[in-house]
């Protein structure tokens, strides 16, 4: 073996080593690229879920809990004597007014707290809405079961 042969062998070994390092770097970068893509996909899915949640909350406040357009009313409790008096006067006239006087029909013997719970709902949520039909309620319950599993 001559000195030229050893030089060629060194060049070949160096070249082979460079190829091996290139392959390792390629696979390593692919792994890093895949990790980055996975993170980007997870962030995109999270953002889409938050966008959907925000849209549904806005629709709920505008149209109610279901997409067919349940009527939802933004309401406030009237507690000040002056405003109560104004409401009575406007209601007596029978014309258009911002006031509605309600009596909770379910507040019968043994169930007196329904009116109180309605006042608490109005005070805490600021909304009242139409109750769902039996079929709508069943669908809502099935949906809740699917999302809680």
Q: What does the pLDDT look like over 12-68, one tens digit per residue?
A: 777 777 787 777 776 666 667 777 788 889 999 999 988 888 776 666 555 555 555
Q: Taking the model in full, what pTM does it have?
A: 0.41
Beta pairing class for 72-74 and 127-129: antiparallel
The strand pairing partners of 73, in sequence order, are: 128
Structure tokens at 43: 């962030």
Those residues whose C-beta lies under 8 Å from the C-beta of residue 129, and which sit 6 or more positions away, are 64, 65, 70, 71, 72, 73
The tens digit of pLDDT for each residue in 64-106 reads 555 555 666 788 889 899 999 999 999 998 888 898 888 777 6
Residue 69's pLDDT is 55
Two structure tokens written together for 113: 């707290």
Residue recorded with tokens 């050893």: 6
Mean pLDDT of 123-147: 75
- Under a CB-based contact definition with an 8 Å cutoff, are residues 132 and 143 in contact? no
In this structure, the number of other CB atoms found within 10 A of the CB of residue 140 comes to: 13
Q: Which residue carries 């006239």 as its tokens? A: 93
Say how many CA atoms lie within 13 Å of 141 toward its Cβ: 7
Q: What is the pLDDT of residue 47?
A: 92
Q: Which residue in this structure is represented by tokens 């309620």?
A: 137
- Cα–Cα distance, 36 to 76 (Å, whole number): 50
Beta-carbon contacts of 126 under 8 Å, excluding residues fewer than 6 positions away, are 74, 75, 76
Residue 131: the pLDDT is 65
pLDDT score of 3: 47
């Amino acid at each position: 073996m001559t000195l030229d042969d050893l030089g060629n062998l060194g060049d070949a070994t160096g070249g082979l080593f460079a190829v091996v390092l290139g392959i390792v770097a390629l696979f390593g970068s692919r792994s890093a690229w895949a990790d980055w893509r996975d993170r980007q996909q997870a962030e995109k899915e999270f953002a889409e879920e938050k966008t959907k949640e925000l849209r549904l909350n806005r629709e709920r406040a505008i149209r109610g809990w279901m997409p067919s357009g349940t009527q939802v009313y933004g309401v406030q409790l009237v507690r000040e004597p002056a405003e109560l008096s104004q409401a009575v006067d406007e209601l007596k006239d029978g014309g258009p007014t911002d006031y509605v006087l309600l009596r909770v029909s379910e507040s019968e013997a043994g169930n007196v707290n329904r009116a109180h719970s309605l006042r608490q709902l109005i005070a805490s949520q600021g909304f009242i809405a139409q109750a769902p039909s039996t079929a709508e309620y069943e669908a809502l319950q099935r949906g809740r079961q699917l999302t809680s599993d």
